[in-house]
Chain A
Amino acid sequence: MPNPLGPVWNGHRTSMDAFGVVRRALALDAMVRAQVLQGGQFAAASDQQILDLLDAAQDEVDDQAVLFLYATFEARLREHIVAQSGLLTGATQPSAQFGQNLHGWFNDLCRDARMDKVLDLFVPSVNQVLIAQVGSIRKYRHWLAHGRRGLAVPSVTPLFAYRTLTSFLQLCNLT
């Protein structure tokens, strides 16, 4: 089973490489530089303006990568839990319909359950330290998603988010 976080991580690495290409394009001679940068917001901007845009965008893309990594991780866990709901259809008391109802009810629960409760389901395959680290990525994701209000919560780089979330999935045989 491929790591569902792989495409997000690879996309982030490609974006970082692309930032590097634009930065190096600024050192080209004027004519080539103009050709390379034509057609976008960089065309009429000074070097410093472009560098400021790139610095800000690079931090933004880092945070977006963490958001997407966590969203993909969350989807993978919920998908796995929902897949277990088929086990409930065998419940036939008081009627065969009960099992079907239970199946639907459980699916709804899975979609609505808080992620901290979802993570706890994977103990002891995953220990409390890793659960705390994943919980902290979730907290950082919330801080970003809600507009970075208040003081900064503990942060996570894309590489460390990828590594931590991948470890969790591997321990649960979900990659």
Chain B
Amino acid sequence: MLTAPRITEEVDGFRRRVEDLYAKVQRWITARRPDAEFHRTQVELSEEATGVYQLDSLDVALPGLPSLRFVPRGIFMVGAHGRVDVRSRLGREVLVWLEAGEPSLATSEAAGDDAERIISRPIFRDVAEGWAWTDSKRGRVLPLAPEVLWDLVLEPLTR
């Protein structure tokens, strides 16, 4: 487990990133569907590095369409620094927070950081820092933008 200050740093950082995601999602959805309703529910997460902590999930109700739920899944994962799933009755899409940079494939690079930070480094080329949608069909990640959210994340989950 991380030290107490690092746990606070990581959980607070993830909470800020998730809040940033929810704010964007609400703004982008409301711009097209002013009748959308949003509701939050607290969920509990537990990770080896941090122990147990709480975050909000975000429910989205779009009249006439299946309801959607954004659910935080964890901070630490290989290739990203946070994951939020988007679920509906039609399936699931995965959003991840990517750090800026390139895959560390150069043979000269040595690991000089703690394990959690090392494993979160990018594994895709040309990624910008921020939330991205993982496109499993094409084996790529795309930065989350209004059109990506609507056409590639929400459309398959609501139509």
Contacts and interface: CB of A to CB of B under 8 A. Distances in A.
Interface of A: 13, 16, 19-20, 23-24, 26, 47, 51, 55, 58, 124-130, 132-133, 136-137, 140, 150-164, 167, 171
B76 interface: yes
B91 interface: yes
Contacts of B119: 132-133, 136, 154
A23 B110 CA distance: 46
Interface stretch (B20-28, B30-38, B57-65, B79-87): B79-87
Given A155-B74, A157-B134, A130 B105 contact: yes
Given A129-B109, A167-B103, A158 B123 contact: no
Interface in B109-159: 109-111, 115-116, 118-119, 121, 123-124, 134, 136-137, 139, 156
Contacts of B47: 151-154
B4 interface: no
Contacts of A126: 107
Given A16-B136, A159-B139, A133 B123 contact: yes
B109 A155 contact: no
Contacts of B83: 155, 157
Contact of B73 (A26, A132, A155): A155
A55 B77 CA distance: 21
Interface of A is mostly: helix
B94 interface: yes
Contacts of B115: 132, 136
A163 B87 CA distance: 24
26 contacts: A23-B90, A23-B91, A24-B90, A124-B108, A127-B106, A127-B108, A129-B111, A130-B103, A132-B115, A133-B123, A136-B78, A136-B119, A137-B78, A151-B51, A154-B47, A155-B74, A157-B77, A158-B136, A159-B136, A160-B80, A161-B78, A162-B139, A163-B79, A163-B123, A164-B123, A171-B105
A155 B108 CA distance: 27
